[in-house]
Amino acid sequence: MSKKRILSGVQPTGNLHIGNYLGAIRNWVEMQPQYDNFFCVVDLHAITVPHNPEVLAKDTYTIASLYLACGIDLQYSTIFVQSHVSSHSELAWLLNCTTPLNWLERMIQFKEKAIKQGENVSVGLLDYPILMAADILLYDADQVPVGEDQKQHLELTRDIAIRFNDKFASEENPVFKIPEPLIKKEGARVMSLSDGTKKMSKSDPSELSRISLLDSPEMIKKKIKKCKTDPVMGLSFDPQRPECNNLLTLYSIFSNQTKEKVALECADMGWGKFKPLLTEATIEGLTPIQEKYEEIMREKGYLDTVLKEGKEKAEMVANATLKRVKSALGFLV
């Protein structure tokens, strides 16, 4: 039996933070041997908000390299750049024309991002989930591993696929496979270091709110030292204590210990004792990734080869799906 397929992606907007790693990439690495995997750097998504053309290519290299540094293995997985495979844009257009506008207007992430953009909201920002649906549906993905925040986009993708199949295909011969979201509970939502009720995010203006995968040990130490805590004595996984809950979860993940064990270890601890432990575990967790990253970035030619081969493999799958879609819609193919 052939393996089930996974597709996922991250936007090349700056560096990755530990939320991206724990909520997404770490799970991809763990699962990859059991699946046929496609991981893309979604650069077309990165221009849905104003972007700087001078850093887009550099950021794209950074993310591709971090995929490898975090442990994505080319033996199981294909790594490619979204804009290298033109079927993504083309399918997005076709889906634009078969999806009701009000499905997009409901998207929470759009509303949140649109508020931040003020007058400058692009059509692309509204259309972002359609492009994401195209990314997923082109590869007949069975599972899409993402963080909790992407759940609504996955539901939309399923709705788009179901509606398309209903309208343009027969039950025995559907055009699209209906994908399933794969959201891990642990690490699914890493919270900001400055506010335990807010998601850790690349777009937060404060660098102190997040730990980046490439932060130096000194920087990690500084950020954890300054992070928000609460005045309660003794630490616990109490949902009423968002900062405490978040920091203990991070500690449990980076120190490879169960929550139960951490709860016991930290029950009588104060922040003064806990913070150095968390700092050390975080640095230990990130050092191997940083070393591998440096090694890959020193060899630019290597990354180009990986991305070229990835493009070729991705194109074979994506182009075949696109042809199926166009044919179902009645195009002369």
Please identify, among the stretches 3-11, 97-105, 194-202, 217-225, the one whose residues bind ligand TRP according to the rule CB under 6 A.
Answer: 3-11
Q: Report how far residue 178's alpha carbon sits from residue 198's, in angstroms, rounded to the nearest whole number.
A: 31
Residue placing its CB nearer to ligand TRP in the complex, 22 or 136: 136
Please identify, among the stretches 31-39, 118-126, 131-139, 306-314, the one whose residues bind ligand TRP according to the rule CB under 6 A.
Answer: 131-139
If we measure between CA atoms, which residue out of 185, 149, 133, 138 comes closest to residue 321?
138
By CB under 6 A, the count of residues binding ligand TRP is 13
As annotated, the active-site residues are 113, 199, 202
Residues 41, 146, 160, 303: which binds ligand AMP (CB under 6 A)? Answer: 146
Q: Is 260 helix (H, G, I), strand (E, B) or coil?
A: helix
Residue placing its CB nearer to ligand AMP in the complex, 157 or 165: 157
150 binds ligand TRP (CB under 6 A): yes
Q: Which of residues 39-78 bind ligand TRP (CB under 6 A)?
A: 42, 45
How many CB atoms neighbour CB 164 within 10 A? 22
Six token digits for residue 226: 């300054």
Burial of 309 (0-12, 13-18, 19+ CB in 10 A): middle
Q: Report how far residue 11's alpha carbon sits from residue 24's, in angstroms, rounded to the nearest whole number.
A: 12
Q: Report how far residue 138's alpha carbon sits from residue 91's, in angstroms, rounded to the nearest whole number.
A: 8
Residue placing its CB nearer to ligand TRP in the complex, 5 or 223: 5
Residues 202, 228, 259, 313: which binds ligand AMP (CB under 6 A)? Answer: 202
13 binds ligand TRP (CB under 6 A): no
If we measure between CA atoms, which residue out of 226, 236, 227 comes closest to residue 196?
227
Q: Which residues bind ligand TRP (CB under 6 A)?
A: 7-9, 11, 42, 45, 132, 135-136, 144, 146, 150, 153
